[in-house]
Structure 1
Amino acid sequence: MISEVNTRIETEKGKPEEPVLTIRHLYKSFGSNNVLTDFNMDLFRGENVVVLGKSGSGKSVLIKCIIGLITPDKGIVKMFGSNIPDLSDTELDKIMAKVGFLFQSNALYDSMTVRENLEFPLRRHMYKLSQEEVDVIVMEALKDVGLPHTADMMPSELSGGMRKRIALARTLILKPEIILYDEPTTGLDPVTAKEIIGLMLHIQKKYNTSSIIISHDMNCLRLAGDRVI
């Protein structure tokens, strides 16, 4: 069970900055198991918030409530000014187009090349783009993660760290304003894990993204987190 209240960040002029994500009095139970109890948080533009906790503490349920996969028992999950539980499927799709998700398992399509994996979300959300425009966007994302030479490789030809980088490149392809990281360093050796954290910080700085990082890695917390829950 997790519960948190965060203070607001103030701008240089002293006025409160509007959060990109606001959660207030969020509750979710499964039978007699109270997973989220009066959970509160704000996520502001350009910051990384680490949600730290052991297995079963409600981290994954929180993420599913944020992206609309689970409806909370009560509470507000407001993203970009819209309360997620109140949205229609069409409205939710529009909001989620601004959100990137890095899965713990990477979730790459084994039957597609790296290029095709990155093209997939573009074809779904930006279908009016020409092939030339798609190629430029794909290569920019691959350069962001330092792997432009892998475009025509298959996922099976990549190391674990490279697959994580490609998954991150795919997350970046639609230029999300919020990125949700699910255990980004799990299963990686310490050197590769540190490289992935470095990439996360590079992306935060370059694109001013806001991120929620689900992790039990104290090193990830120390290096990547602006705040911790």
Structure 2
Amino acid sequence: MEISTGSSMSEKKIPEDRETVIEIEHLCKRFGENVVLNDFNLKVYRNENVVVLGKSGAGKSVLIKCVIGLLKPDSGTIRVLGKNVPELDHEDLDKIRTKIGFLFQGNALYDSMTVRENLEFSLRRQWIKLPQTEVDALVKEALGNVSLPHTADMMPAELSGGMLKRIALARTLILKPEIILYDEPTTGLDPVTAREIDNLIIALQKKYHTASIIISHDMNCVKNTADRVVLLLDGKCYAEGTYRELEEAADENIKQFFE
């Protein structure tokens, strides 16, 4: 893959043997006078981890919140599994969200609920009603995926930071999403635990063939998990390529992230 910069990124031909699951075109989002996303373009393919890299406040979290419909863009299209998210009504948005997992930076677990109840909450909020036997099986599978089957009846306060991240990931996976959005998955974790989360992200991608957008400031996470790195600069996709390609780039705007 060659490094693409500037507007040429959006003109890259989609590989014939890969399915596009997210297609963002000419996305713009501002808050008052602050332009956060300015003609942003991106394609994400099935079974691909795309890491979005950028400075603090560059709009990375805003981007994935637009993808899942938590924020409405000012203009542009966001096609997720063929549906233009900004045009969906509440019911259709809920349906498409069952196919998208979102790992929040702060985990967003409910302190007053057990691990089991936190995982069941995601299932009970969906428009499809499941029998308790299936709910139990999904909870067991989700906890097994993150190697924490013994924590089902524990409270979040009893868990370490790394365990909390794993439980949040289990909740993200419980509906077997086709797409996962990770918001700073290793922030606040020690290097050993962060590497464990990186390995888990890769293992789950291989098991479920998910497509992922990963927001991260952690360059080890970027290096370990990315199939492709996208640099968000001045509201645009400034450059894309593999980690090594961007690491070796001569462009000063790219080099500053790898020094």
In structure 1, the partner of 2:129 is 128
Distance 1:157 1:8, change over 3 A: farther
8 Å CA contact 1:8–1:16 kept in 2: the answer is no
**Are positions 1:66 and 2:67 aligned together?**
yes
Shift of 1:129: 2.1
Separation (CA, whole Å) in 2 of partners of 1:74 and 1:127:
32
- Determine helix, strand or coil for the equivalent of 2:50: strand
TM-score (norm 2): 0.83
Do 2:112 and 2:155's aligned partners in 1 also have CA atoms closer than 8 Å? yes
Higher relative contact order (CA 8 A, sep 6+): 2
The percentage of aligned residue pairs carrying the same residue is 67
Following superposition, the deviation at residue 43 of structure 1 comes to 0.6
Distance in 1 separating the partners of 2:195 and 2:127 = 33
Per the TM alignment, residue 126 of structure 1 is displaced from its structure 2 partner at its CA by 6.2
Equivalenced residues, count: 223
Distance 2:44 2:134 in 1: 32
Stretches of structure 1 that go unaligned for 5 or more consecutive residues are none
Shift of 1:127: 5.4
Q: How does 1:99-118 map to 2 (within 5 A)?
A: 99-118=100-119
Query: Match for 1:48: what amino acid?
Result: N
Letter matched to residue 205 of structure 2: Q
Residue ranges of structure 2 left out of the alignment (5+ in a row): 1-5, 231-259
Residues 133 and 16 of structure 1, relative CA distance in 2, 3 Å threshold: closer
1:23-58 deviation line (CA, Å, top 9, x unaligned): 011111222221111110001000000011121101
Q: Give the match's secondary structure for 1:91.
A: helix
Give the alignment of 1:41-60 within 5 angstroms.
Answer: 41-60=42-61
Q: What is the CA deviation profile of residues 74-131 of structure 1, one whole-angstrom value per residue up to 9, with x for unaligned ones?
A: 1111111111111111111111110001011101111111111111111222653222
Separation in structure 2 between the aligned mates of residue 136 and residue 16 of structure 1, nearest angstrom: 34
Change over 3 Å in CA distance of 1:140–1:126 after alignment to 2: farther
Structure 1 residue aligned with 2:98: 97
CA–CA distance in 1 between the matches of 2:60 and 2:193?
24
